[in-house]
A = this chain, B = another copy of it.
Amino acid sequence: MKKVYDVLLARNEPKAEAFLDEVRGKNPLFICTIATTETAKIPGISAAGKYPEFTDYTPPADAELLLLGKCKCIKGVPVTPDGIPTPALITMSALRLADIPVMVASGGLKVKPFVPFLDLGGSAGRDIRTGSAVDDVEEVIQRATLAGEQLAKTADYLVIGESIPGGTTTALGVLCAMGVKAEGKVSSSMPQNPHDLKVKVVQAGLAAAGESCGSLAENPVRAVSCLGDPMMPAFAGLVIGGASQVPVLMAGGTQMAAVLAVVNALKPEVLCNVAIGTTRWVVSDRSSDLKGMIGEIADVPVLAADVDFGASRFEGLKAYEKGIVKEGVGAGGASIAAMAKLEGAVTKELLLKEIERNYALLMEKK
């Protein structure tokens, strides 16, 4: 795989290289889209929180970490049940290294962060097994589009990330409903990807909604309303509004396939301005297939930060090499943006040092 700086050109190499070239030395704005869904509380679905009930606190705590350098709504930082720290630690370190400004946007939350956030009019999501997962999808897309248009005027380009526990299951739901072959292809924050459980949950949701695989291929708004999560309309609207004016790096793992499917169904003409930015852990994951799903939807390039925690002195970071967490809070895209802004001066070694420094500081505080 070809590499520029410490960025892997993981899919559609010429377009990926052209995107990186276009944003080199430029000033991005990073937007973290946060939301919650009850789907995350289904036992065995998400590792983004020490216990299922804690998943309500993970997105606001991630937002606080990005803006304050520490969490306020919880002690310490969000961790998996095994104590592995949130990828927001990577995002925060990358953004601070390159002095990239951050905005937090809420798609719908159960617990609000103790930091400023853009309210896009959404509410927290329900369990997708109800078949009625998200309210006001169209209105949130419209408001987020408006926000994306304004924010695009304040930066050379946008990097948009997400934090929503349970998000790969809702991604599978929307992809299935829209007819994208996604079974066995979405990623997981756990080393053992619970594909069977996710499929069961999605099937229950489709049945409750009176829909079937592919029945909503032309109706992305209903697909998200029935089987998605509140991050999706916020994220999709920001992409639509932003990419109508400037390049947009969609920063995330396999959840980006679901958002891309929504954007592609609503406004395909903006996709010439769009790339996906993720981590090496996602593109080299054998239990999921981001690139395969993207190929089914639209020919957008995929870039991956060549992060490597194998040499870390912290067990909590080393665990990332075992396939735990992998991505989230735009960690890969933020790393790519930092490398691009400083034209390679941010290397993966420098990034790991900064992450370790911040991790140590946060563990002391705790």
Residues of chain A having any CB pair with chain B under 8 Å: 29, 67-68, 99, 101-103, 105-106, 112, 114-121, 139, 143-144, 146-147, 150-151, 153-155
Contact = CB atoms under 8 A, between A and B. Distances in A.
A116 B103 contact: no
Label chain A's interface by main secondary structure. mixed
A143 B106 CA distance: 16
A109 to B, nearest CB: 10
A68 B241 CA distance: 13
Contact of A143 (B29, B114, B139): B114
15 contacts: A29-B154, A67-B150, A68-B146, A105-B116, A106-B119, A112-B121, A114-B143, A115-B143, A115-B146, A116-B119, A116-B120, A116-B121, A118-B118, A118-B119, A119-B119
Nearest to A120: B116
A116 B67 contact: no
A103 B117 CA distance: 12
Contacts of A150: 67, 101-103, 116
What is the count of identical protomers in the complex? 2
A146 B67 contact: yes
Scoring A106, A116, A139, A150 by chain B CB atoms within 10 A of each residue's CB, the highest score goes to A116
Nearest 4 pairs of A and B residues by beta carbon = A101-B153, A154-B154, A116-B147, A119-B119
A150 B150 CA distance: 15
B154 A116 contact: no
B115 A116 contact: no
Given A67-B146, A150-B67, A117 B118 contact: yes
A345 to B, nearest CB: 19
B154 A101 contact: yes
A68 B143 CA distance: 10
Given A102-B150, A146-B67, A154-B154, A119 B121 contact: no
Contacts of A105: 116
Nearest to A117: B119
A67 B143 CA distance: 10
Given A29-B154, A155-B154, A146 B116 contact: yes
Nearest to A106: B119
Nearest to A116: B147
B120 A118 contact: no
Given A29-B154, A67-B150, A116 B116 contact: no
Scoring A99, A118, A144, A150 by chain B CB atoms within 10 A of each residue's CB, the highest score goes to A150
Scoring A68, A102, A120, A147 by chain B CB atoms within 10 A of each residue's CB, the highest score goes to A147
Given A116-B121, A116-B147, A151-B154, 20 more contacts: A29-B154, A67-B146, A101-B150, A101-B151, A101-B153, A101-B154, A105-B116, A106-B119, A112-B119, A112-B121, A114-B121, A114-B139, A116-B118, A116-B119, A116-B120, A116-B144, A117-B119, A118-B119, A119-B119, A154-B155
Contacts of A102: 150
A62 B274 CA distance: 33
